[in-house]
Every structure is written in structure tokens, then in C-alpha cells.
Amino acid sequence: MKKEKIVLGISGGVDSSVAALLLQQKGYEVHGIFMKNWDDKTAICSAEDDYGDAASVCATLNIPLTKINYTKEYKEKVFSQFLKDHELGLTPNPDVLCNKEIKFDVFEKYAKKIGAKKIASGHYAKVLMKDDKFFIGKAKDLTKDQSYFLYQLSDKVLKNIEFPLGNLYKNEVREIAEKNKLVNAKKKDSTGICFIGDRQYNTFLEQFIDKKEGDIISLDGTLVGKHNGHMFFTVGQRKGLGIGAKKSAFDKPWYVVKKNIDKNIIYVAQGGEHPALFSDELVAVNIFLNENIKSKLPMPCFAKVRYRDNDHSCQIISLNDDQCYIKFDKKIKAITKGQSIVLYEESGLCFGGGIIKKRNIPYLEKEIYE
């Protein structure tokens, strides 16, 4: 009996390698794709090293591996937007955009080319069904769950996707790799943004964005320091401000609580529990929803406002003209413009999300929204 073909993204890491093995064991004819997205050898996702590991694993498993260079597309669709968002004062998440604009699109096109109907990845996530539709769901291993990055995958795409690691814990994945003598069984997980690598975040940005000195001002209007550009700072940031503690505030560290982009001003306050850091309302744009929820509003649900965030109970109050107004049951620390807010049911089913455009700051009476 002829096996069904499936296209799998293989990065050279242990997760996608074990995903390949599990798909084979499930009876699929696995075809691997290695996607190169960056030319810089100083990045932690060094393409040469990772490709070598991917090729070794595919040779061990007798899987064909095709290398696709999409550095041009990545820079045009993802990296350029990453830089633009910083210049606008946002804190973007390029992994979300990459999954939407490039990664799964490449998988689908290659699958069509070789006559495969299904695609797969080594993400920690699940595909769930509700009312005969397909949705992204949280992985069993909540410490590794990557559904946050995949919220923009539609029912049409999800019906043909496999996530082999969705029901496994990370330690189980490594055990499978070791048992099957995969070369990357003990390979260190990649963290952060791959094209930045081991360099300091701001040092990397300075190669592409011009510095522009501005004032660091406390909420009482006192000039407390200078900065080299608002785009190098984000709400909730404590390190790298270059200002010492203020004795009258009991030596509490400074935190970024607000930015004025037009005037290039960073506003700061002392103490990680300062009320200006906390918000209970936000407006999101670029909304993607995998179901029609307008008739259910106001709709209770749960939301993450950044990756690795806890779930926060909230209500979707309104949804108009691609704008969504969300009210949280409790105040949340350091909601950051440019990050994704991802929406879940209590079951862990993800039904969509959007990009945070502004948040309320109840403490600042003159400017309710930032």
C-alpha cells in the first residue's frame, strides 16, 4: 500500500527531528524541508550548523531533505516590518508574522508540488475540532506550548496539519531522540529571536535604526536621564536605563511606564508594582478570528498578552472595523503595544487574536490611553 506523503519543516533541532520519526511511525512518507531565513553567521540559528544536523537526522531516518532559501522573502515580509514597528514605538514579535506570511505558506506550496496533501511541524501545539471546524489548541506540555505563535492559522490550513509533539512533554521528546540515537538528542534549545543571536538586542537594532537622543522623565516631570532612542525601550523594561535609584523612593529600580513617540520621551517610575505599569483594558487591531463571535459579545474568554504569559480572564466587549476592545478582570503588568494578544477558551482552544494597539493607564489621569 502506498504511503501518504507529508511535508515537515526540519530545523535541525530535536523537536522537528522527533516529529519526523513519529510521523514515520504513524505510516507517513515524510519529506523534509529546511528553511534558511538569515545569512548572518553570528545568529544562533546558524544555517550551516543546523542544516548539517537536519541532514544527519534525515539520513538516519531515510527521509529526503530539500533546502529552501527564503532569506529575501523573510527580509521583505518579516524583518522590514520588525524594524518599522520599532520605529513606530512598538515591540513586535517576528515569529507570529513569520508563521503567517512565510513558513506554512512555503510548506503548502512544496506539498502541492510533490503531490502531498498534508504538512507538519515540530511546534508544541494541537489541532482541535469544534462545530466541524479546526482550531489551534494548547499543547500538553504547557511550559513549551507554542499555540501563541500560531493563532493566525485558519480552519482551511489546520485541517491538513499535523503537530506530532502536541501530546508529549519535552523530556519525553528528548528520551525518544536518545533512544533512536538521533544526533541532536541533547542539542540546546534555541531561544529568543534567531537573527539576533547572542548579541545584545539594542546593539543589533543599532545596525539598522539611527539613534536619536531624548529625555527620560519621571511621572512627576523630573528629568532623570537621557536615552539614545525610544525604539530601544519597551514598557516594563528595567535594565539598561542608565539611571540610578532615587533615595526618596527607597532605592526602588526604575521601570519604563510610557513612551511619547512624537517627542522621543521615555517616562519612568520607581518600583515594579507602580500602578502606572498596570492596565485592565486594551484595544487590539489586525484581528484574526477563526469563528464569528459578534453575536456572542460581550464574550468571556482568556488571553495571553505575550508569549510565556499566564492566561488572564477577560471579556471581549466590542469588535468593529478590525478593532477589538478587551476588558480584563484584573489589572495586568506591562501590556506592550505591538505584541500579540491571543484568545482562548477555557479548554485551551485558541480562536484568534490580534496586535495590541493601545492600553489604558488608569493611574495617568491626563492620558487614559497610550
Give the pLDDT confidence score for residue 143 in this predicted structure: 95
Q: Where are the beta strands (DSSP E) in 43-196?
A: 65-69, 118-120, 126-130, 133-137, 161-162
Q: Which of 42-46, 123-127, 230-234 has the lowest mean pLDDT?
A: 42-46
DSSP string computed for 338-364: TSEEEEE-TTSEEEEEEEEEEEB-TT-
203 conformational bin, left if phi > 0, alpha if psi -120 to 50, beta if neither: alpha
Of 55-59, 192-196, 274-278, least confident by mean pLDDT is 192-196
The whole-angstrom separation of Cα 121 and Cα 107 is: 9
Q: What is the pLDDT of residue 199?
A: 64
Residues 124-168 pLDDT 10s: 999 999 999 999 999 999 999 999 999 999 999 999 999 999 999
CA distance 341 to 279: 14
CATH for the stretch 5-179: 3.40.50.620
Residue 43 has pLDDT above 60, yes or no: no
Query: Which three cell numbers mark 352?
Result: 484568534
Is pLDDT above 60 for 44?
A: no
pLDDT number for residue 368:
43
What CATH code is assigned to 275-359?
A: 2.40.30.10
Q: From CA 304, how far away is CA 324, in angstroms rounded?
A: 15
Q: Beta-carbon neighbour count of residue 17 at 10 Å?
A: 32
pLDDT at 197 over 90: no
Phi-psi label, residue 304: left if phi above 0, alpha if psi -120 to 50, beta otherwise:
beta
The strand pair at 349-359 and 133-137 is best described as antiparallel
Express each pLDDT in 307-364 by its tens digit. 989 999 999 999 998 899 999 999 999 999 999 999 999 999 999 999 999 998 776 6
Strand runs labelled E in the chain: 5-9, 29-36, 65-69, 118-120, 126-130, 133-137, 161-162, 214-218, 223-227, 254-260, 265-270, 278-289, 299-304, 312-320, 323-333, 340-344, 349-359
Q: Which residues are catalytic?
A: 98, 194
Q: Given 3.40.50.2020, 1.10.1380.10, 1.10.760.10, 2.30.30.280, which CATH number is that of 210-270?
A: 2.30.30.280
Q: What's the rounded mean pLDDT across residues 30-54? A: 77
pLDDT tens digits, 85-130: 988 989 988 888 888 778 888 899 999 999 999 999 999 999 999 9
The structural domains of the chain, with segments of one domain joined by +, span 5-179, 210-270, 275-359
